Amino acid sequence: MELYFETAASLHSMLKNKKITAKELTEAVISRIDATENEIGAYLTVTKENALENAKKTDEKIAKGEEIGFLEGLPGGIKDNICTKGVKTTCASKILENFVPPYNATVVEKLLGVNYSLMGKLNMDEFAMGGSTENSAYKLTKNPWDKERVPGGSSGGAAASVAAGSAVWSLGSDTGGSIRQPASFCGVVGLKPTYGRVSRYGLVAYASSLDQIGPVTRDVTDAANIMNIIAGNDAMDSTSSKKAVPDYTKSLVKDVKGLKIGCPKEYFADGMDKEVENAVRAAIASYKDMGAEIVDISLPHTKYAISSYYLIAPAEAATNLQRYDGVSYGARVDGEDIVSLMTNTRTAKFGAEVKRRIMIGNYALSAGYYDAYYLKALKVRTLIQQDFTEAFKSVDVIMTPTAPTAAFKIGEMEDPLKLYLQDIYTVPINLAGVPGISVPCGFTQNNLPIGLQIIGRPLDEETIIRAAYAYEQENNWKDKRVGGEN
């Protein structure tokens, strides 16, 4: 297999065993970027020099016989809403076109602590609002499996780069599915941790009560290793959990005997693509052969999840986005007075979807409608949380499709409501704050990847990692690469 298609774990051991050098690998990834970026468009900023510099240091350490960490010398990308000191962080928005953060997000500090190698910043829907990366103010990202299709979103660049071989691993953010759905569309693994497991400090806020950062990788082993680096309490994020972080690599065992898997009937309803349904059902059935127990469950408030999410997320977004006023930082379009300066700036620099959400959010929060919309949505959120609490009394994990369809065509979801409905299987997980992972579970006849979503109890990433790993070992989906290379 080409070097740029290997998993992080395999590249790490090749480096340690001196089968390759970090320089060779970094150059291979850079040539891959040069060969694919024009078509795929996964990156907003490429930091080649930085990656080469890291490679040099890594090779020197190896030559001296020093230990190297898991990500040393392995070029990876970071979604462009995670602050990287000295490297532009635009959120794919014109309003932050020239924003160079003076500080690092906590996850980036943690990555620096293990000498990670930054290859660049990845494309996304503007401020993470969307499910196709078509809302980026800068460029389209294309699905490496079929360039007429979207990579999913909002972390489209994070998933497309890992699938295309232009990053070995990446970090995305997930507010309502933005790690899992693009992972599913691009045939890679995406993990959304429990709310509070990974610090949000330095993640540009979209909807603060839902946002989480997580890894996008080629297999479950890589996801577990990256979780070991980024998870943990942070004094800079008061919502981050104080619970000790386990060693997630200990969950990389092929053992699901006696595991109770819940299969929610509401997730296998109308609107799901037949090929997706068949692949997901086959995956769940294969757990039975591995000794797990499949239990039919109900999550009765699922049907209200989209309405509740699309009130809560825009309400929080409208509040969070007030800071882009043309004064504090970011772009400015002048006006005659302060009000027109702010109006001109926001009118010119926010995209259509961001404006739509600001309007929905402010409407839902306004005095006359607060009770009817925002407060009601919060009550529904509690009911959805209770559905999960109830279900987890009788099962260890819940399995569902990640998305109702495989990747759709660019332009196919022009109607925003149609796109919102695509989030039906992912948003309840954020509303409940529980962890979820998407793993490849097959391909459609058109060779488009399909994802299986595994949902766990709060702070029980270990069990979803174990379940995902066991399935991955039973199949060879993870070995399939774009272009048929194996």
The least distance separating ligand GLN from the CB of residue 154, rounded to whole angstroms, comes to 4
**What three-state secondary structure class fits 42?**
coil
Contact (Cβ atoms closer than 8 angstroms) between residue 157 and residue 120: no
The nearer residue to ligand GLN, 299 or 403, going by C-beta atoms, is: 403
Q: Which of 142, 56, 129, 54 is nearest to 93 (CA)?
A: 129
The nearer residue to ligand GLN, 125 or 461, going by C-beta atoms, is: 125
* Residue 129 touches ligand GLN, criterion: CB under 6 A: yes
CB-side exposure of 339: number of CA atoms within 13 Å? 0
Sole window of 122-130, 139-147, 259-267, 299-307 interacting with ligand GLN (rule: CB under 6 A) = 122-130
Task: Please report which helix (H) or strand (E) contains residue 261, including its range.
Answer: strand 260-264
* Residue 175 touches ligand GLN, criterion: CB under 6 A: yes
Residue from 154, 155, 166, 241 carrying the catalytic annotation: 154
Check the CA dihedral 242-245-246-248 and report its sign: positive
Near ligand GLN by CB under 6 A: residue from 75, 77, 131, 351: 131
- Residue recorded with tokens 């962080």: 89
The nearer residue to ligand GLN, 128 or 470, going by C-beta atoms, is: 128
The least distance separating ligand GLN from the CB of residue 415, rounded to whole angstroms, comes to 14
Looking at residues 422 to 481 of the shown chain, list those that interact with ligand GLN (rule: CB under 6 A): 423
Q: Which of 196, 205, 204, 207 is nearest to 230 (CA)?
A: 196
In the sheet that 293-297 helps form, which strands lie side by side, from edge to edge?
Answer: 43-46, 117-122, 75-79, 169-174, 212-217, 189-192, 436-443, 449-456, 397-401, 260-264, 293-297
The nearer residue to ligand GLN, 178 or 228, going by C-beta atoms, is: 178
Quick check: is 178 catalytic? Answer: yes
* Residue 266 touches ligand GLN, criterion: CB under 6 A: no
Provide, for the chain, the percentages of residues in helix, strand and coil under a 3-state DSSP scheme, each rounded to the nearest 5: 45, 15, 40
Residue from 132, 178, 199, 240 carrying the catalytic annotation: 178
Each residue 204-223 as x (binds ligand GLN by CB under 6 A) or -, in order, gives --x-----------------
Identify the DSSP state of 268: S
Alpha-helix residue ranges (DSSP H) falling in 332-453: 338-349, 352-365, 376-391, 416-421, 427-432
Residue from 61, 79, 94, 192 carrying the catalytic annotation: 79
Backbone angles phi, psi at 200, to 5 degrees: -95, 0
* Residue 402 touches ligand GLN, criterion: CB under 6 A: no
Please report, as a single letter, which amino acid is at residue 287.
Answer: Y
Sole window of 31-39, 45-53, 126-134, 214-222 interacting with ligand GLN (rule: CB under 6 A) = 126-134
* Residue 182 touches ligand GLN, criterion: CB under 6 A: no
The nearer residue to ligand GLN, 33 or 313, going by C-beta atoms, is: 313
Contact (Cβ atoms closer than 8 angstroms) between residue 260 and residue 394: yes
The nearer residue to ligand GLN, 206 or 388, going by C-beta atoms, is: 206
- Residues in contact with ligand GLN by CB under 6 A are 128-131, 154, 174-178, 206, 313, 423
Active site residues: 79, 154, 178
